[in-house]
Structure formats: C-alpha cells, structure tokens
Amino acid sequence: MVTSPGYVLATDIGTTGTKTILCGLDGTVIRKALIEYPLHAPTPDTAEQDPDEIWQAVLKTTWQVIQQSGVAPPQILCWSFSAAMHSVIGMDRSGQRLTRSITWADNRSAAWADWIKREYGLDIYRRTGTPIHPMSPLVKLVWLRHEQPDLFRQVDKWISIKEYVFYQLFQQYVIDHSMASATGLLNLVQLNWDPIVLEIAGIQPDRLSTLVPTTHILQSMSGKWAEVMGIPPDLPVVIGATDGVLSNLGLGAIQPGVVATTIGTSGAVRAVVAHPVTDPQARLFCYALTENHWVVGGAVNNGGIALRWVRDQLADAEVLTAKQLGIDPYDILMRMAETIPVGSEGLIFHPYLLGERSPLWDANARGSFFGLTLNHTKAHLVRAALEGILFNLRMVLQALQDFTQPSIRIQATGGFARAALWRQMMADIFHQEITIPEQHESSCLGAAILGLYALNAIDSIERVTEMIGETHRHQPIAANAAVYEQIFPVYVKVLEAIRCQYGLMADLRTQLGERSK
Ligand code: ADP
C-alpha cells in the first residue's frame, strides 16, 4: 500500500448526478460532494440531459471538495474520471453543441436496434462487444442518420458526456478505450473505430474523437476553469474509464475468479478477463478497463425493482403496519419470506416485469409465477420473488463462466445487501461465498486507483484489494444449496418453454390496444 503523503481527486459523471471525491493514497475518502440533475423526458421514450448542467456539476463538486478538505492543491497528485456509458452529444464545427446528451435510457432508437439485428445478425456485436440495443450510441447514430438527416449532416463530432467535459477543460476531443468500447463503434481487437460499423452509422472516423488508453494523462487545462475550481492548471488529469468497469475495480472485483454482483433497482454480474471476449449467444457485454483488463458481464433490468413491485402491489397491509411500527416495509417482507421453506414449496417466479436485457435480450419478456396452488400464501409469493431475481442473475453468472474461470468469490452490492436473508439466499443460489465490500463510492474509488496507476504511484491496479474492507460474508448452506441445485434447472426449463411465446403475448397486447410496457 502507498503510504507517502498525497491525495487524488476523482469525479464520477453519473446519470442521476456527478460525484467528486478527494481520497488519500490508501483509498480513504477525505471529502466528497454530489450534485444531482434531472433527466429531460418530454416523451416516455426520451431520456436526455443538459451537458452544461453536468459540466457545472463537475466544476462545483470539485470546487466544494477542494474548499472543504483544507488540503493544499499542490498535495493533489492527479484528477481522474469515471462516466456513465452510452451517451451521445452532437457538436458543430465551432465546438457548440447541437443536441442535449442522449442517455443510455433513451429508447427512441428501438426500431433501429431491431433493424440492425435483422440486417447484420450478431456480427456487429462480435466486432464491438456492445449489445445491439437502443442504449448503444451506434444504434442512436443509425436512428439519427435516418430520422433526423438535417441534424445528422450538421454535426461535426459525435461525442459522449465525458468528451464534452474534457473538451471544456482542454479544447480537445479525446476518448478513452473504455468509453469508446461502450459506443458499439470500437473494434475490440484492433482498438480502432471499426470501419464496417462506421459505414452502418454513416460516419467517417473524423466525426469521432481521438482514441487514447484509459491511463492517458492530459495537462495544462484551461486556466480559467482551474481557477474556478481552485486547482493548479498543470494538475495531471487522467482520462479514466466508464462507471461500470471502474465499479468492478472500486469493489476489488478485479482478480480472476472474483465476480461483482449488484442488485439495486436493476442488477448486474461482471468479471474481469485479460483479453476481450464476446459471447456467441450475445448475452454479455465486453468493455475495456485497461488494455489488459476487460470487463465481461450482463446487466439485468429486473433486480430489486421486482421486489419493489411485490411491496407496492401485493403488500399494502404490510406497508401500513411497517409505517405504524416505524420500520422498513422490506424488513416485514423478509420476515414473511423467512417463514417459507427454501424453494417456496414449488413456486417459481420469472421476474421479467420490465422485459429483459441480459440474459434474454427480449423487450417482450414478461413476468410469471409458475406452480401456484391453493396452499401458496402471500409469503410464498414474496420468497419466490426473492429467489426468482437471483435465479435470473445466476443465468447471467453461468453465461459469464463460459468465458471466465470458475468464480471463487462474489463481491455483492446494492440495496438488496441490507437484508441478511437475501444475502444468504444469494450465497445458496449461486453456491458461492458472498462478500459485501465496504464501499461507498466504487466508481469514484476505481477512478482514483486507475489515476494512481497512470501516474506510476502504484505498480498494479490489483493493489485495490488492500484498500477495500468488508461488512458481511456468507457461505452457502449446503442443505439450501442442494435444494436450489434442483430448482434452478426447472426455472430454466420453464423459461425455455414459455419464452418463445413472449412475442405472441406482445402481439395480443397490441391487438387489445394495451400499452406494451
Ligand atoms: P439504486 O439501484 O436505484 O441505487 P438501491 O441500490 O438502493 O437502488 O436498491 C434498491 C432496491 O434494493 C429496492 O428496489 C429493493 O428491492 C432493495 N431494498 C431496499 N431496501 C431493502 C431492504 N431493507 N431489504 C431488502 N431489500 C431492500
């Protein structure tokens, strides 16, 4: 561990807000600041943000941590960046923006994702590692090319929110391999803008930024902005990577066999491999962290939100009781689930309430309870929901293990980790040891560590494991794991049997004139 004095600034440009931390060289966070901003959603499919609002948040959060920390600016070794993936901003020739930041959540290009899949099959995914989905900048460019041709012609550069911030700081268009690997435009093997994909997007490479490694350092930022933030203009600025891959780093899930799992509102399973890989069945993404560290994984829509649905739709009385007792309604749901045997007495929940990304990549997927009898109670529904969310994530974990070595440990995070029952269930269903790292700002911390590595202040990013504590650890309980080993194949078989009918249901909903989402 590094013990010499000094500090690192790290900023994470997220979708709900921008966070900046100042940490010591051992990873201890000295100060942090967060500024949130809204998503502009004038239609249900639109999800845009104001890039200038975000740029202001970068300036202000940085200024705040510098002011409040009392640390002398010369003691700061570098400033490193994390950012949300998949955003698109169109800039004109004079460096003025022509669009807002179109975020990953924007769904307006959905029909063009289907078109690319029909026309090109899995080829584009295999070249780039980015799933063909409306979140992908490639798909957004194809949509804009065809549906907003005037705007498309006027745009001189297509950039992400991180490039926008770097353009303000340095008047240069640069993009790191990590952000680029999430655009759907980067060739994973060559690490260049893929000519075949660019042709589909209808652009030349000069419409995109210069590619640099995630450890690339820029210096001599605009003096005006350095003064506003109270930092030296020659502070080394490390370009960094995306929030997803840096979160793996910040959680200490970086060595072979260590898998990061999150169940928040949505969910994800991710592991680091030494070379880029893609999945012949296109269930997984592959994004760069460094040239020797690639994050493979899958993001699921149906994480904790499926439990929230159970709480809101099935547990009115419990929510009321919780309010009267002044406790969290989820605690009551957990107590109910605890009274039900492992496996919910033959009840299986497929949690696809929001359609699904990984492992199904099917927007028409829908939720179901399978195996209901008169004997099942509300408590069974709750337990089956907790189990079903985990079975779905186990499918992603299994897909991942086709490409990584068998997992030896799971580092788990997200709101689910507040419940001991759900944590133990993860250990039992995944049949793995689960650790809950003591982490608060994993993407920021990941950026800080990458910054130190870029400066040669640490010899390897694996040093992170010395900086991360843990709050809980669970071993699988053999008897429970044995029951889940029997149920999981049934979960998968039932899913295989019904998933071919999700399209039929989508057609029916359209005929019935119902909203399909
Ligand atoms: P986000 O991903 O939006 O940041 P969180 O990580 O806080 O959100 O996760 C929210 C989810 O965590 C909820 O939808 C719920 O499923 C779960 N959750 C929240 N509180 C609890 C709790 N006390 N016990 C179990 N699960 C919880």
Q: With a 6 A CB cut-off, is 434 part of the ligand 1 pocket?
A: no
* Ligand 1 centroid, distance to 44 Cα (angstroms): 24
Query: Is the beta carbon of 304 within 6 A of some atom in ligand 1?
Result: yes
The structure tokens listed for 491 are 């979960």
Task: Return the percent helix, strand and coil in the chain, to nearest 5.
Answer: 45, 20, 35
**pLDDT at site 465:** 85
516 band by pLDDT with thresholds 50, 70 and 90: very low
Helices (H), 186-299: 195-201, 223-229, 243-250
Over residues 255-303, the pLDDT tens digits come to 989 999 999 989 999 999 999 999 999 999 999 999 999 999 999 999 9
Does pTM surpass 0.85?
yes
Distances (CA, A) of 146 to 143, 193, 441, 478: 5, 21, 40, 56
Q: For position 514, what pLDDT does the model report?
A: 61
**CA–CA distance from 135 to each of 122, 140, 255, 302, 441 (Å)?**
17, 8, 28, 16, 24
CATH fold of 7-254, please?
Answer: Nucleotidyltransferase; domain 5 (3.30.420)
Q: What is the pLDDT of residue 515?
A: 53
> How much distance in Å is there from the Cα of 213 to the middle of ligand 1?
35
Give residue-wise pLDDT tens across range 331-368. Answer: 999 999 999 999 999 999 999 999 999 999 988 899 99
Chain-centroid distance of CA 493 in Å reads 28
- Judge whether residue 374 has pLDDT over 80: yes
CA of 263 to the centre of ligand 1 (A): 7
Provide the residue ranges of all domains of the chain, joining segments of one domain with +.
7-254
pLDDT score recorded for residue 205:
98
Q: How far apart are CA 29 and CA 6, in angstroms?
A: 12
pLDDT tens digits, 424-482 = 999 999 999 999 998 778 999 999 999 999 999 999 999 888 888 889 999 999 999 99
Q: Does the CB atom of residue 264 touch ligand 1 within 6 A?
A: yes
Tokens of 105: 């959540």
What's the rounded Cα separation, in Å, for the pair 175 and 236? Answer: 16
CA distance 182 to 202: 18
Beta bridge partners of 270: 260, 297
Tokens of 103: 């975020």
